[in-house]
């Protein structure tokens, strides 16, 4: 059986990746392709517990960058072995709402951890489960902040721990994704998500179809 294809969607907060990951999975299903949709951190019972710890729990002391990177990687390691690799072996396609590049950008570029050490973490957590294609949805910090305000104002929720970081942090996140796209053009595609959502979805679809058909 032919191995399935693996696509990850990345980007700063408020870029629309969760919505577009779902739309992409639905469109692939309409094309007759069996799809598994995952999210990070999370996607397994262990991963969801780590997600709650990282995003919503409060502690007397801040979580240090190293702990943050290790926890994200632990969630990812479980997801890879419990969900992603079995699905790919069955010939199914996997759409990941965030994956290893989030740790590279958020804990590396934005927190300042050594990128070589993060690559070592990836080798342990991810192994050979590298996405065939990564779509980075790009959005400026002002638009990101406005979208988050609209989202949480509508649902009455509160920002998670990373969403509450200051502007400089989010500027470094965006710059990190741009640098990643320049360094790995064979895998990473940068698409602006500022436009009309339907048009953004069509751009994503063209990238996927051209790269993986």
Question: What are the pLDDT digits (tens) for 53-107?
Answer: 998 777 888 899 999 999 999 999 999 999 999 999 999 999 999 999 999 999 9
- Specify the CATH number for the domain of residue 145: 3.40.50.300
User: By residue range, what is the domain housing residue 205?
Assistant: 6-212
Average pLDDT over residues 187-194: 96
SS3 24: helix
Predicted local distance difference test score (pLDDT) of residue 109 = 98
Predicted local distance difference test score (pLDDT) of residue 89 = 97
Domain contains 34 = yes
| 99 to 60, 87, 125, 146, 163: CA distances (angstroms) | 29, 16, 11, 25, 17
Which among 137, 146, 132, 158 has a CA at the least distance from the CA of 210? 132
Domain contains 1 = no
Residue 119 tokens read as 């690559």
Domain contains 78 = yes
β-strand partners of 188: 134
65/95 Cα distance (integer angstroms): 27
pTM of the model: 0.92
Domain contains 103 = yes
Domain contains 23 = yes
Domain contains 146 = yes
Domain contains 132 = yes
pLDDT at 44 over 90: yes
Domain count, the chain: 1
Domain contains 57 = yes
């Amino acid at each position: 059986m032919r191995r399935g294809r693996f696509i990850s969607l990345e980007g700063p907060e408020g870029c629309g990746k969760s919505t577009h990951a779902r739309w992409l999975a639905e469109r692939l299903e309409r094309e007759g392709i069996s799809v598994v949709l995952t999210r990070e951190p999370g996607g397994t019972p262990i991963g969801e517990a780590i997600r709650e710890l990282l995003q919503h729990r409060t502690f007397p002391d801040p979580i240090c960058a190293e702990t943050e990177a290790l926890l994200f990687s632990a969630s990812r390691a479980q997801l890879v072995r419990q969900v992603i690799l079995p699905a790919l072996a069955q010939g199914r396609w996997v759409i990941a709402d965030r994956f290893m590049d989030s740790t590279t950008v958020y804990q590396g570029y934005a927190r300042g951890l050594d990128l070589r050490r993060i690559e070592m973490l990836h080798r342990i957590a991810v192994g050979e489960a590298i996405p065939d294609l990564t779509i980075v949805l790009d959005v400026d910090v002002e638009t990101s902040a406005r979208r988050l305000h609209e989202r949480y104002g509508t649902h009455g929720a509160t920002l998670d721990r990373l969403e509450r970081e200051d502007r400089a942090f989010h500027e470094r996140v965006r710059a990190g994704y741009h640098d990643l796209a320049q360094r790995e053009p064979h895998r990473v595609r940068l698409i602006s998500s500022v436009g009309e959502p339907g048009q953004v979805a069509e751009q994503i679809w063209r990238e996927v179809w051209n790269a993986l058909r």
